[in-house]
Amino acid sequence: MIVFNVWSLLQWYLRPIIKWLLRKTTKLCELQRICYGDKAGAARTCNVEKSLMLSRTRDVQEVVSFLDAVVLEKRFTPNNFYSILDPSVSIIIRVKKINPKLHGSFIVSFRRCLEQIWSYRSLVNEIEELRKTQFDSNNVEHEEKLVRLWSLLVPQEPLESRITKQWQYIGFQGDDPKTDFRGMGLLGLENLLFFASAYPQASSHVLSHSQHPKYGYTFAIVGINLTSMAYYLLKDGSAKTFMFNDKSCLPSATLFHKFYCYLFYEFDKMWIESKPQNIMEFSMIFKKFENAIRIELADPASVFRINIEVDTV
């Protein structure tokens, strides 16, 4: 601990000197070196974020504070990017003495990094709100989503009633699923619903595994546990690798749901491959799975895709 504190202190004092030396020798500021030298995606965006957060330049700190405030006001949306990001980029260019005519590609790359960084922060707040929203059986919308989950997973068999033992077929603990959503709130239901609707083949595949006579598990309860895992990976920043390496869109609720679907499909694969003796091995295998995911996310070059393989077990 002492060694770590000493090293952190040294970095704090040496960082400006190293940056100055590199600026003199390369004729580029740190942000330029990152945008030109690091691969687009998590590697570049995370390093740009780190550089901005460590900056001691007042104007840079004010840009960071301004963008954070916009996120809190829920105004950091693509429709507002022009009015929010262009002035922010202009301030950074001025402060860092960057010639926009010579470094047009830097501006494009840097702006993309800002889009990703603060879209991620907006997403964290959005997911937090969803998690805090408790399932309300008096809310028609909530009830409709729950019934739709059943119809997507078990289309061949209608529900006998709203409260029924049938829910246990898809892995809820009792006759009324609402009690199982307490920990993760509406987020748990939204995740399950997205998996069933966006990936019907994969969710059906995983559900069939969960009902295996020897290796079976409670589909919905495991799904809610995976919601918790995805939520904490998002909160602590580990999920940035997944989000920033996705070229199709910026960090969003949809991308978070896709991350969850990836986790569910991969966990099911590990569970079946582990050939557990019984459900008592769940905690051990779940922890092993989380560690494996964290290791993969620690590599900024990692790209995650759901590769569906239909098998029989």
* 253, 123 Cβ separation under 8 angstroms: yes
**Residues contacting residue 262 through CB under 8 Å, at least 6 positions apart:** 242, 304, 305, 306
- What number of other Cβ atoms are within 10 A of residue 61's Cβ? 13
Q: How far is C-alpha 55 from the geometric centre of its chain's CA atoms?
A: 26
Alpha carbons 253 and 123: distance in angstroms, whole number? 6
Looking at residue 279, what is its pLDDT? 87
List the one residue out of 134, 147, 144, 115 whose CA is nearest residue 251.
115
φ/ψ (deg, to 5) at 269? -65, -45
Task: Please state the pTM of the whole predicted model.
Answer: 0.91
Looking at residue 179, the DSSP 8-state letter turns out to be G
pLDDT tens digits, one per residue of 32-73:
999 999 999 999 999 999 999 999 999 999 999 999 999 999
List the alpha helices (DSSP H) in the chain: 2-26, 30-37, 42-54, 58-72, 81-95, 104-132, 140-153, 186-198, 200-210, 219-235, 240-244, 253-274, 282-297
Res 19 pLDDT > 90: no
pLDDT tens digits, one per residue of 172-223:
999 999 999 999 999 999 999 999 999 999 999 999 999 999 999 999 999 9
* 308, 202 Cβ separation under 8 angstroms: yes
Alpha carbons 33 and 180: distance in angstroms, whole number? 49
Mean pLDDT of the chain: 91
